[in-house]
């Protein structure tokens, strides 16, 4: 038996050496190490974009990629907010529905195709048409068509007066190469995207990564500047924690939306830089004030106000955000046009909250479901605060679409949501979305709607401001929403990198460089 045993003792050893051999052979194609040493910036995103072809995508991550591959007619400086020449060197409003553009000369697409009026006319006429099946209709719906006035001159016709036209031309409308697109179609553009932008796509591994290479022929006077870094790799890593592990071990160079506690520990690491930057996103609690989801205490304004007084927003901002967040009192982002900050502020005052609850007939509180889709820790903190005044809230977390659907169809009594206004700096992109009788308006307040409509349609800034102010005051007084806080993003990246976070929720990698 001892002889047998010897043989069989060797078995696991054999197996082990087999596994090691396997590992050794795998060692040879060692993954390209990210970082300054080989001039490759690797950044991680949670979600895979639905399409690299920009017009087939609605995600914010798609915007990040589009800024690398393509350019737009107009460039909006993310820091100053000023509009600067992009592919158009100048533009002029002919009337309320017509804009003329002079185009930049000497620009070529990454495949060598020269850029001129044909490309602009094609982009601005084809994509607004229904046959293009653009995924984000609102980006193009306001455009009627474009006409060529000369090789470098284009006239754009709008369907109706649209104050935000320049804003849109500066963002969701990258200019496509006409000949290439007509030859390869949407599928071809997806497989091998071509633009005028500072980086060109060299490799796409589905679900895992997209590799970019600096465009050596990028036009010199671009407001984006000359691209500095040789290669950029976008990696999809769905688990935030895994992203962090990769950052700490040098597998990736850049991550964002870092959690507070992670940020604190990362700040202590010399090889990493951690920065906070505010965004236009705000968090809010929405209450079923109209009782669409059946009778509930929340139809009573005193109860809603009690909740506003019960939640210690400042403490949550101070303790659970990495930095750069602030308490918001308005149903819009404070820096948006028309977002009047003189509205009612609800102090943290649990005693007052209890008193209001008692007045409303709920001295012992009540039970309620709090729906939400992100930042569970923040929701939990609010649940904890509510418990202190006797309101027993239970969390129901779901996907964004499901929770938004619940609210719209009147099945949610209270929900914790966020809104990013698509990075548009105007109240019409925030408050008006929720209070003007659309699908998201569950409050049905005619007074608020009337004021917002007035603000949305007027062209006189003073009139708009006054109308929005009235609406915002009423929303705050009635506590239809409890606006909570702004959402800063916390970025963590290798200290070798020069990178400037901006408030538009879009990291601009084309402007990054190595130290």
**Angstrom distance (rounded) from CA 390 to CA 433:** 33
Cα distances (angstroms) measured from residue 507 to each of 110, 257, 279: 22, 11, 11
How many residues sit close enough to other proteins to count as binding (CB under 8 A)? 89
Residues 169 to 208 in contact with other proteins, rule: CB under 8 A? 205-208
Place of tokens 């007066």: 161
Residues 18 to 37 in contact with other proteins, rule: CB under 8 A? 18-19, 22-23, 25-32
**Angstrom distance (rounded) from CA 307 to CA 301:** 10
Residues 75 to 114 in contact with other proteins, rule: CB under 8 A? none
Burial of 474 (0-12, 13-18, 19+ CB in 10 A): middle
**Is 11 among the residues that bind other proteins (CB under 8 A)?**
yes
The CB-of-399 to other proteins minimum distance in angstroms stands at 6
**Is 259 among the residues that bind other proteins (CB under 8 A)?**
yes
The CB-of-138 to other proteins minimum distance in angstroms stands at 7
Task: Report DSSP letters for 78-103, one per residue.
Answer: TTT--EEESSEEEEEEEETTEEEEEE
Q: Which of 125, 330, 422, 432 binds other proteins (CB under 8 A)?
A: 422
Residues 263 to 292 in contact with other proteins, rule: CB under 8 A? 265
30 or 82: CB nearest other proteins: 30
Phi, psi of 230 (to 5 degrees): -65, -50
**Selected range binding other proteins among 64-72, 216-224, 308-316, 470-478, rule: CB under 8 A:** 308-316
**Is 404 among the residues that bind other proteins (CB under 8 A)?**
yes
**Is 221 among the residues that bind other proteins (CB under 8 A)?**
no
The CB-of-223 to other proteins minimum distance in angstroms stands at 26
Pattern 35-54, binding to other proteins, x per CB under 8 A? ------------xx-xx---
Axis crossing angle, helix 350-359 with helix 301-310, rounded to the nearest 10: 160
223 or 437: CB nearest other proteins: 437
Cα distances (angstroms) measured from residue 2 to each of 7, 8, 11, 12, 107: 9, 10, 15, 17, 81
The CB-of-309 to other proteins minimum distance in angstroms stands at 17
The CB-of-185 to other proteins minimum distance in angstroms stands at 13
- The tokens describing 425, both together, are 């700096």
Cβ-based neighbours of 171, under 8 Å, separated by 6 or more? 63, 72, 76, 423
99 or 258: CB nearest other proteins: 258
Residues 238 to 257 in contact with other proteins, rule: CB under 8 A? 238-242, 244-246, 248-249, 251
342 or 457: CB nearest other proteins: 457
Q: Which of 73, 383, 414, 492 binds other proteins (CB under 8 A)?
A: 383
**Selected range binding other proteins among 66-74, 153-161, 273-281, 397-405, rule: CB under 8 A:** 397-405
Residues 477 to 506 in contact with other proteins, rule: CB under 8 A? none
**Is 234 among the residues that bind other proteins (CB under 8 A)?**
no
Q: Which of 69, 277, 379, 415 binds other proteins (CB under 8 A)?
A: 379
36 or 135: CB nearest other proteins: 135
The CB-of-212 to other proteins minimum distance in angstroms stands at 17
Q: What is the dihedral of CA 224, 226, 228, 232, to 10 degrees?
A: 60
Q: Which of 361, 398, 444, 461 binds other proteins (CB under 8 A)?
A: 398
Spacing of C-alpha 125 from chain mean position: 27
Q: Which of 37, 96, 387, 463 binds other proteins (CB under 8 A)?
A: 387
Place of tokens 């951690």: 274
**Selected range binding other proteins among 67-75, 99-107, 432-440, 482-490, rule: CB under 8 A:** 432-440
Q: Which of 108, 396, 458, 498 binds other proteins (CB under 8 A)?
A: 396
Cβ-based neighbours of 7, under 8 Å, separated by 6 or more? none
The CB-of-202 to other proteins minimum distance in angstroms stands at 16
397 or 514: CB nearest other proteins: 397
**Angstrom distance (rounded) from CA 267 to CA 290:** 46
Contact between residue 177 and residue 184 where contact means Cβ atoms under 8 Å apart? no
**Is 446 among the residues that bind other proteins (CB under 8 A)?**
no
**Selected range binding other proteins among 3-11, 173-181, 350-358, 495-503, rule: CB under 8 A:** 3-11
**Angstrom distance (rounded) from CA 304 to CA 205:** 49
Report the relative pairing of strands 98-103 and 88-95 from DSSP bridges. Answer: antiparallel
Residues 136 to 175 in contact with other proteins, rule: CB under 8 A? 136-138
**Is 12 among the residues that bind other proteins (CB under 8 A)?**
yes
Q: How many CA atoms lie within 13 A of 477 on its CB side?
A: 10
155 or 408: CB nearest other proteins: 408
34 or 121: CB nearest other proteins: 34
**Angstrom distance (rounded) from CA 121 to CA 489:** 37
**Selected range binding other proteins among 83-91, 232-240, 293-301, 474-482, rule: CB under 8 A:** 232-240
Residues 310 to 339 in contact with other proteins, rule: CB under 8 A? 312, 315-316, 318-320
Long-range contact set of residues 243-249: C-beta below 8 Å, sequence gap at least 24 = 243/44, 243/46, 246/44, 247/44, 247/272, 247/492, 247/493, 248/272
CA nearest to 72, candidates 96, 91, 59, 58: 91
Query: Running DSSP on this structure, what letter comes out for residue 38?
Result: G
Task: Report DSSP letters for 465-483, one per residue.
Answer: HHHHHHHHHHHHHHTSEEE
């Amino acid at each position: 038996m001892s002889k047998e045993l010897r043989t069989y003792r060797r078995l696991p050893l054999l197996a082990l050496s087999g596994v090691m051999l396997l590992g050794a052979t795998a060692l040879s194609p060692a993954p390209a190490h990210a970082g300054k040493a080989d001039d490759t910036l690797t950044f991680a995103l949670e979600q895979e974009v639905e399409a690299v072809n920009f017009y087939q995508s609605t995600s914010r991550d798609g915007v990040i990629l589009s800024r690398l591959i393509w350019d737009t007619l107009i460039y909006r400086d993310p820091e100053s907010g000023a509009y600067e020449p992009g592919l158009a060197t100048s533009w002029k409003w002919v009337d309320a529905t017509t804009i003329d553009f002079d185009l930049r000369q000497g620009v070529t697409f990454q495949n060598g195709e020269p850029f001129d009026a044909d490309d602009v006319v094609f982009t601005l006429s084809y994509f607004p048409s229904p046959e293009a099946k653009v995924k984000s209709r609102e980006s193009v719906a306001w455009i009627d068509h474009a006409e060529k006035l000369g090789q470098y001159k284009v006239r754009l016709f709008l369907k109706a007066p649209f104050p935000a036209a320049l804003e849109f031309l500066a963002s969701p409308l990258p200019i496509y190469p006409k000949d290439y697109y007509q030859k390869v179609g949407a599928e071809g553009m997806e497989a091998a995207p071509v633009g005028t932008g500072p980086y060109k796509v060299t490799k796409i591994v589905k679900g895992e990564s997209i590799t970019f290479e600096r465009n050596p022929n990028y036009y010199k006077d671009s407001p984006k500047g000359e691209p500095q870094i040789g290669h950029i790799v976008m990696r999809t890593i769905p688990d935030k924690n895994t992203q962090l592990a990769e950052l700490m071990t040098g597998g990736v160079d850049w991550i964002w939306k870092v959690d507070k506690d992670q940020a604190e520990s990362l700040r202590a690491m010399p090889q990493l830089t951690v920065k906070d930057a505010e965004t236009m996103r705000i968090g809010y609690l929405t209450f079923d004030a109209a009782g669409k989801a059946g009778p509930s205490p929340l139809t009573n304004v005193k109860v809603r106000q009690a909740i506003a007084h019960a939640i210690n927003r400042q403490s949550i901002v101070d303790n659970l955000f990495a930095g750069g967040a602030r308490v918001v009192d308005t149903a819009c982002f404070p820096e948006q046009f028309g977002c009047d900050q003189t509205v009612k502020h609800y102090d943290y005052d649990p005693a007052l909250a209890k008193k209001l609850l008692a007045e409303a007939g709920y001295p012992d509180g009540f039970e309620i479901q709090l729906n939400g889709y992100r930042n569970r820790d923040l929701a939990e903190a609010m649940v904890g605060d509510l418990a202190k005044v006797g309101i027993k809230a239970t969390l129901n977390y779901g996907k964004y679409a499901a929770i938004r659907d619940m609210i719209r169809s009147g099945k949610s009594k209270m929900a914790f949501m966020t809104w990013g206004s698509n990075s548009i700096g105007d109240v019409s992109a925030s408050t008006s979305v929720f209070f003007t009788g659309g699908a998201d308006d569950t409050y049905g307040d005619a007074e608020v709607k009337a004021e917002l409509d007035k603000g949305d349609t007027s062209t006189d800034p003073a009139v708009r401001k006054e109308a929005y102010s009235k609406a915002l005051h009423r929303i705050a007084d009635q506590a239809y929403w409890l606006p909570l806080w702004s959402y800063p993003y916390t970025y963590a990246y290798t200290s070798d990198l020069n990178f400037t976070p901006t408030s538009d929720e879009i990291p601009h990698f084309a402007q990054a460089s190595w130290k």
